[in-house]
Amino acid sequence: MSKASQPTALFILPAPELSARVHEYLLQWYAAAGRDLPWRGTSDPYAVLVSEIMLQQTQVERVIPKYRQFLETFPTLQDLADAPTAAVISAWVPLGYNRRAVNLQAIARQIVQEYAGRVPATIEELIKLKGIGRYTAGAVACFAYRQQVATVDTNIRRVLHRVFFGLEYPRPMLNDAQMLTFAEHALPPGEAYNWNQALMDLGATICTSAAPRCEHCPIQAACRAYAEMGQHSLFPTGAVLRQVRKVAEKKANYQALPFTSSNRYFRGRIIDLLRSQPPDSRISLAVLGTHIKQEFGDDDLPWLQQLVEGLAKDGLLDYAPEGVRLP
């Protein structure tokens, strides 16, 4: 056993009987109710990689049509590596966070140069790719190569914590490293693919962050958080309702600052405008400013220059003294 996978003394592994019950309940539920997602119908490592990058910070429903369209435009990793970056960014719209498109192409080019165009199969090699973290490396290794490895995203973390450790409020019992170690030990033998997918589905559809639907949960009888909530109320909802209130307050505070005044909004407007221009043509900052912001004035130029420099640093545009254009 590697050092990274050794159990830590900061938590106690669940009894084998409990783990077996959870495995049985959840895997049976997934076999009957798992979501029909297009990337689950392929073992192509490139397609799996595309889906994982797209799913970062974007809802599944928005990703599905763009995933299919993107793979039609760039059917192979070599196609993506060879494409102009501006074309990749255009194919990514309207998913947002366009830097992901640039990063994905950079990964494709690195794989072509360093791995002869074949996506690495091990976590150790995958994590060497620029911008690939432990979650994405584990997801590709598991979902494309069917390796018996754990991977922990937000949904998986929440479900595992609630089932085996209880409510994550006011703060989780395990940090990221500890949760990954625990997730490795929680894997059912030979079922890593179905287990990881089942955990994500449960977290996305039933064991949600703000309003879990405990009455529909297939592992309710084995869930420690459900038992904890039952101690606070005749119906096990008291602790969750308090958390829902906190989440609502946070959202209200966030929404007090309209998105249309945020830098992210204006970054998106800049890219959209440049996509509408003839290839290789440049727009000066002064002209650019008047197109993306009403009542743009000279006092706004330092702010606009900072935005443009940030986009250039992220590889999303080319910035020169005479103006900006897509790369």
Average pLDDT per block of 10 residues along the chain, 327 residues long: 44 86 97 96 97 93 96 98 95 90 96 97 96 95 97 95 85 86 95 98 92 90 86 53 51 55 81 80 83 76 86 86 86
Measured CA to CA in angstroms, residue 146 lies from 28, 74, 153 at distances of 19, 24, 18
- Read off the tokens for 198: 């089942």
Say what the pLDDT of residue 325 is: 87
Instruction: Please report the pLDDT score of residue 268 as a whole number.
Output: 85
Residue 5 pLDDT: 43
CA–CA separation, 190 and 300 (whole Å): 58
- Quickly tell me which residue has 């309702």 as its tokens: 241
Pairing of strands 323-325, 318-320: antiparallel
The predicted pLDDT at position 295 comes to 74
pLDDT at 260: 61
pTM (whole model) above 0.85: no
17, 24, 52, 322: the catalytic one is: 52
Residue pair 180/134 in contact by the 8 Å Cβ criterion:
yes
Task: Say if residues 219 and 25 touch (Cβ distance below 8 Å).
Answer: yes
Question: Given this model, what pLDDT does residue 2 score?
Answer: 41
Alpha-carbon span 130 to 109, nearest angstrom: 10
> What is the rounded distance in angstroms from the CA atom of residue 194 to the CA atom of residue 188?
9
Which residue type occupies 69?
Q
- Contact assessment for residue 317 and residue 308, using Cβ atoms and an 8 Å cutoff: yes
Rounded Cα–Cα distance for residues 297 and 100 (Å) = 31
Is 322 designated active site? no
